[in-house]
Structure 1
Amino acid sequence: MTLTGRTKTEQAYHVLRRAIVTGDLVEDLPLDDAMLSTRYGFGRTPIREALKKLADEQFINYPPHRTPYVRGIRVRDLSRLYESRHLLEEPVARLAARRATPAQLDELERICDRIDDEIAAGQPYGAIEYDHQFHLEIAKSTDNPFLAEAVNRLNCGSLRIWYLAHSTLGMENTNEDHRAIQAALKEKDPDKSETLVRQHIDKSYARQMALQQLDPVVPPPAARSSQGEPP
Structure 2
Amino acid sequence: MTPPGRTKTEQAYFALRRAIVVGDLAEDAPLDDAMLLTRYGYGRTPIREALKRLADEQFITYPPHRTPYVRGIKLRDLSRLYEARHLLEEPVARLAARRVTSAQLDRLDWICDRIDEEIAEGHPYEAVEYDHEFHLEIAKSTDNRFLAESVNKLNCGSLRIWYLAHSRLGMETVNEGHRAVKAALVERDADKAASLVSQHIDTSYARQMELQKLDTSTYKPTPITPP
- For normalisation by structure 1, the TM-score amounts to 0.93
* 1:43-92 CA distance string (max 9 Å, x none): 11100000000000000000000000000110000000000000000000
In 2, the alpha carbon distance for the partners of 1:87 and 1:4 equals: 36
| Residue 116 of structure 2 is aligned to residue 110 of structure 1 | no
Contact 2:55 2:61 (8 Å CA) reproduced: yes
Matches within 5 A, 1:63-78: 63-78=63-78
- Residue 207 of structure 1 is matched in structure 2 by 207
What is aligned with 1:58? 58
* Preserved contact between residue 55 and residue 62 of structure 1 (Cα < 8 Å): yes
Aligned AA for 2:226? P
Tell me the C-alpha RMSD between the 2 structures.
1.4
Q: Per the alignment, in what secondary structure is the counterpart of residue 116 of structure 2? A: helix
Q: Which runs of 5+ in 2 are unaligned?
A: 217-223
Which residue of structure 2 lines up, in the alignment, with residue 227 of structure 1? Answer: none
Deviation at 1:2, TM superposition (A): 3.8
Match runs of 1:55-204 below 5 Å: 55-204=55-204
* Identical amino acids, percent of aligned pairs: 78
Q: Which residue of 1 aligns with 2:38?
A: 38
Instruction: Note if contact 1:202-1:219 (Cα within 8 Å) is conserved in structure 2.
Output: no
Tell me the TM-score normalized by structure 2: 0.94
> How many pairs are equivalent?
219
1:142-190 Cα shifts (integer Å, max 9, x gaps): 0000000000000000000000000000001110110010010011000
- Consecutive aligned runs of 4 or more in structure 1 exceeding 6 Å deviation: none
Higher relative contact order (CA 8 A, sep 6+): 2
Q: Tell me how far 1:195 sits from its aligned partner.
A: 0.5
CA distance in 2, matches of 1:127, 1:219: 29
Question: C-alpha displacement at 1:219, in angstroms?
Answer: 6.9
Matched, 1:48 2:48: yes
Query: Contact 2:95/2:142 (CA < 8 Å) preserved in 1?
Result: yes
Asked whether the equivalents of residues 2 and 11 of structure 2 are also in contact (C-alpha less than 8 Å), the reply is: no
